[in-house]
Structures are given as structure tokens and as C-alpha cells.
């Protein structure tokens, strides 16, 4: 059996069993956006790592080195944000072909430095080595979070409402325009959506507010696709979910792409990753309070898209016709996905 036969998440589970963990300083290991380690009397240390592999995670003909440097750091910052934490220190490992231009590396670091300055991160070191294949980038990011602000995937409870920040499906729509350049969409829409894919936003302010409020019960970033990331919350929390398709915050631009592709817009929202928004659960009586606080302080919209169910009730998607169909995890999975998505690390940490 090869890894394609087994699949990404069963592979991770096998590795988790081999590793085993018997360490009093490990609070949360494999199974969340970042590992959680004992730190000071009031804080936890957070640790995460992500890869960007040429022609898998990024396309050289599409991405400038400065955009890539920024993006490589932002996706790690998103992991720390999803735990309610503040990123602090980064280690960068580069595997480069010998023909790589020095100016390319300098531009990459300028992009990374810009994102680091924005997020309050200091790049403290790393490693450079030769690659015989292409450019491979690994960034390890450390951060901290106060004990009372830590948010995990495992805290959702039946009755909670499920919310997302901003829009879902924009980045995936942009990627579809790259792979299908003849799709008939407005040129401004094309440029905007492709930029949304190449230059994801940092959601640190929103994440910090959600964590500090004490009103959220679980949180994850939307990286592998909304359906898959919701599935991670359900699995870790031991719950089910009901999503209302009509409530998904899909932009007019993404709907234009869906029309051009002759596919339902909700498929772009559920299948596509790389938006790096936040998906989180809140007790129903606290939803309006948190929505208003986030929108007033950051200007970002927060939308209720579903509700958490007891696990025995399952996972469901309610269509516009009020028909309920099973909610399947249709986002990205390494070794199996071939649907034109940009591969993203499943946020299970090994």
C-alpha cells in the first residue's frame, strides 16, 4: 500500500501512533492547527510548520518571489491566529536549485519580512541547502497565547452556532481562473480573485478579538476547504453539524466564476481552500455580541452559517430547496486531491 492508497489523514494517524507522546510539557500534540506546549505560569507556547513546494504549493509562472515570501509566512501566522495566539519567532529552511538567482532569494525575503513586520514576527534563523528538484520552503513559527485565550478544534458543543469571517471561495475561484483562463468573467473580477489567492490576508486582529472575548468554543482557519475544516472541528469535538447553503458568504465575484464554470457557487465555497479566514463556534446567546464587536473594531463581517449537532445526528448541508443532504469533506487532501486546488498542508501536525 502506498500513501495515495492510504490517504493523508489516515497516514497522520498512523504516524501519531508510532510517535506516541509521554511528555508532561506537551498540552496538545497532533490534531490541531499548532502544537501547544507548557511555557510560563500564564502562557502556552505554540509551534507550527508549513511547506511550500514548487509546482505543488505555488506556481512559479504565477507567483512573484515577493508574493511567495509573504504567503509562506502568512499561512503559518494563520495557524497561530486560529489558536488565539500571537506569533513571535520564525525559522526558515530553504532548499534551492543551484541556478536560483540571488535576486529571487532577496525578493522572497523582502516579502517575508513585510509579512513578518505586519504580524509582529522576528525571523531568527533557519537553514539553506541545495535542491535537485525545485524550490522547497519550510517555515516553523513559534508563538504564545495566554492560558485563558487558547482555542482548540475540540471545544464545540451541540447548540453552538458556526460562524466564518469574511467571504469563502474567493481564493479557490481565483485559482480556477488561473487553470481555466478562457472562463468569461470581468477582467477586474479576474485580477481581484487571483490576487486573493496569491496574497491571503492576516486575520490576527479578528482572531485576537475572538480569543479575548471568551465567547468562542472552538476555532480553525479555512485553509483546506470549508467542508474539510468544519469536518476537523466535528471530529475533534465529537459533534455533528448542519450547514445552511444560503447562509454561506459567497462574493458576487465568486458567483460570477461559478456561473462561468456552470457549477453551483456553494461548491467553490465548500471545496476550495486558501482563504485563510476563521471558522469558529459560539454559544447562541453570544453570537450577536461577538459579531458586532468584531465588525465595529475591524470592519470585517462575520456570518452564521450553521449549527452544531449531537454527533449521532450527523453532518448535513441544507440546500436552498430546504432539502438536507450529507455534508461531505470535499476540500484538499494530499496524495488524493486532483481537483485543481492548490495543495495545502492538512493542519494535523506530525
* Number of structural domains the chain divides into: 2
* Same-domain check for residues 211 and 117: no
Kindly report the pTM of this predicted structure. 0.90
Which SS3 state, helix, strand or coil, does residue 53 take?
strand
* Same-domain check for residues 181 and 276: yes
* Same-domain check for residues 274 and 171: yes
What residues does 145 pair with on adjacent strands? 44
pLDDT, position 348? 33
Q: What is the largest CA-CA distance in the chain?
A: 59
CATH number at 27 reads 3.30.1330.10
Residue (of 270, 164, 256) closest to 216 by Cα position = 164
Per-residue pLDDT of the chain (350 residues; tens, 9 = 90+): 888 778 777 887 788 778 777 788 999 988 888 999 999 899 999 999 999 999 988 999 999 999 999 999 999 999 999 999 999 999 999 999 999 999 999 999 999 999 999 999 999 999 999 999 899 999 999 999 999 999 999 999 999 999 999 999 999 999 999 999 999 999 999 999 999 999 999 899 999 999 999 999 999 999 989 999 999 999 999 999 999 999 999 999 999 999 999 999 999 999 988 999 999 999 999 999 999 999 999 999 999 999 999 999 999 999 999 999 999 877 555 555 544 444 443 333 32
* Same-domain check for residues 183 and 207: yes
* Same-domain check for residues 168 and 80: no
What is the domain range of residue 123?
3-149
* Same-domain check for residues 255 and 268: yes
Helices in the chain by DSSP H: which ranges?
3-6, 8-19, 65-82, 102-119, 170-179, 187-198, 204-213, 226-237, 252-261, 265-271, 287-298
Amino acid at each position: 500500500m502506498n500513501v495515495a492508497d492510504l490517504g493523508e489523514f489516515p497516514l497522520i494517524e498512523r504516524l501519531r501512533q508510532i510517535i506516541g507522546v509521554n511528555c508532561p510539557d506537551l498540552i496538545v500534540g497532533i490534531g490541531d492547527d499548532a502544537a501547544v506546549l507548557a511555557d510560563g505560569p500564564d502562557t502556552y507556547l505554540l509551534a507550527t510548520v508549513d511547506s511550500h513546494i514548487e509546482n505543488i504549493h505555488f506556481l512559479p509562472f504565477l507567483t512573484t518571489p515577493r508574493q511567495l515570501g509573504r504567503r509562506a509566512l502568512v499561512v503559518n501566522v494563520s495557524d497561530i491566529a486560529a489558536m488565539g495566539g500571537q506569533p513571535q519567532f520564525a525559522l526558515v529552511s530553504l532548499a534551492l536549485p543551484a541556478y536560483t538567482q540571488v535576486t529571487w532569494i532577496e525578493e522572497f525575503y523582502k516579502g517575508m519580512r513585510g509579512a513578518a513586520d505586519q504580524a509582529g514576527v522576528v525571523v531568527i534563523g533557519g537553514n539553506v541547502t541545495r535542491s535537485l528538484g525545485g524550490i522547497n520552503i519550510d517555515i516553523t513559527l513559534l508563538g504564545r497565547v495566554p492560558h485563558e485565550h487558547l482555542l482548540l478544534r475540540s471545544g464545540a458543543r451541540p447548540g453552538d452556532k458556526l460562524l466564518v469571517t469574511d467571504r469563502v471561495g474567493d481564493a479557490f475561484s481565483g485559482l480556477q481562473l488561473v487553470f481555466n483562463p478562457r472562463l468569461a468573467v470581468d477582467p477586474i473580477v479576474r485580477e481581484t480573485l487571483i490576487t486573493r489567492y496569491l496574497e491571503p490576508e492576516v486575520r490576527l486582529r479578528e482572531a485576537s478579538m475572538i480569543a479575548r472575548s471568551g465567547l468562542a468554543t472552538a476555532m480553525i482557519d479555512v485553509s483546506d476547504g470549508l467542508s474539510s475544516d468544519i469536518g476537523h472541528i466535528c471530529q475533534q469535538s465529537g459533534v455533528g453539524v448542519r450547514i445552511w447553503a444560503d447562509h454561506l458568504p459567497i462574493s458576487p465575484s465568486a458567483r460570477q466564476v461559478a456561473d462561468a464554470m456552470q457549477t453551483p457557487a456553494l461548491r467553490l465555497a465548500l471545496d476550495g481552500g486558501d482563504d485563510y479566514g476563521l471558522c469558529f463556534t459560539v454559544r447562541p446567546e453570544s453570537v450577536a455580541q461577538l459579531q458586532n464587536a468584531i465588525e465595529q473594531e475591524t470592519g470585517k463581517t462575520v456570518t452564521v452559517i450553521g449549527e452544531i449537532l449531537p454527533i449521532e445526528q450527523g453532518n448535513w448541508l441544507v440546500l436552498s430547496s430546504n432539502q438536507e443532504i450529507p455534508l461531505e469533506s470535499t476540500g484538499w487532501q494530499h496524495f488524493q486531491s486532483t481537483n485543481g486546488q492548490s495543495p495545502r498542508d492538512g493542519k494535523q501536525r506530525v
